[in-house]
Structure 1
Amino acid sequence: MSGAGTGERRVGVVLVSHSAAVAESVAALAAGLAGAPADLPVAAAGGTADGGVGTSAERVAEAARGVDRGAGVALLTDLGSAVLTVKTLLAEGDELPPGARLVDAPFLEGAVAAVVTASTGAGLEAVVEAAEAAYGYRKV
């Protein structure tokens, strides 16, 4: 799921998972719960290029470039090597768009919070804060 670009500056959100199906499902759920327009810049970057379980730096970079609307890109990850992949891309400096940020948030709840907040037109800091606040969501 990725926006087509309307020229409007919006924060993009990339969901990085070891599984393409998980990343795509969480992206669809978050966008659906946000009541997000079809052009909301949200992308899934899951699995390896050959369809296996793992993380692909190329998929992450492509997804981030695809959702970049000039207001920053929030990257949420599921597990350890996904985090390392995003950190490596950020350290390289030229693979991800300017303003790309790794967000320390729970994958599902953080994704929903990030996408809902981004759908309002909020800036990158607000999107990151909303996603990170998801750590405090209590279920009981």
Structure 2
Amino acid sequence: MIGIVIVSHSNKISTGIVELCKEMVRDDIKIISAGGTRDGKLGTDATLIMEAIEEANSGDGVAILVDIGSSIMSSEIAVEMLPEDMRKNTIILNAPIVEGSLAAAIQACISNDLEDIKRAGMEAKYMDKVES
């Protein structure tokens, strides 16, 4: 199974997104929160993110969804810290964190293909929420 890591500057946000995703998908999908800093403050922590990637990884790959700014940079650093075999199957999605996380989690139940999950997460950018 493809694992999913949610990275936000706020642990409350990333934990809430994980909770929302788990309402939509099977329990066997690993969706891990990596929000905030280790001491519970706002911010990001590359080591915390790396540990979340390792926890989410079952050998098939990991998709990371981020909010803004340093969450992207910290996720990139975390990926670089991984062993090569994990690094090549870990991607950061260019997707909205809430909608992209939901789409990626649902797709992970349907397909064990990292490219399918990437596409689903990224397509969430174009989801109409209300009629124009």
Fold match by TM threshold 0.5 = yes
> How many positions carry a matched residue from both structures?
129
- Runs in 1 of length 4+ with deviation above 6 angstroms? none
Map 1:1-80 → 2, pairs under 5 A? 10-33=1-24, 36-80=25-69
From 104, 120, 126, give the equivalent of 2:94.
104
- The one-letter code of the counterpart of 1:40 is I
The percent identity for this pair of structures is 31
Q: Give the TM-score, by structure 2 length.
A: 0.90
Provide, for residues 93-118 of structure 1, a one-character-per-residue CA deviation record: whole Å limited to 9, x for no partner.
Answer: 53892301011000000000000011
Instruction: Tell me the secondary structure at the aligned position of residue 85 of structure 1.
Output: helix
RMSD: 1.6
Q: Give a deviation string over 1:50-94, Cα, whole Å, max 9, x none.
A: 100000111111110001011110000001100011122234453
Higher percent of residues as helix: 2
Structure 2 alignment gaps of length 5 or more = none
SS in 1 for 2:86: coil
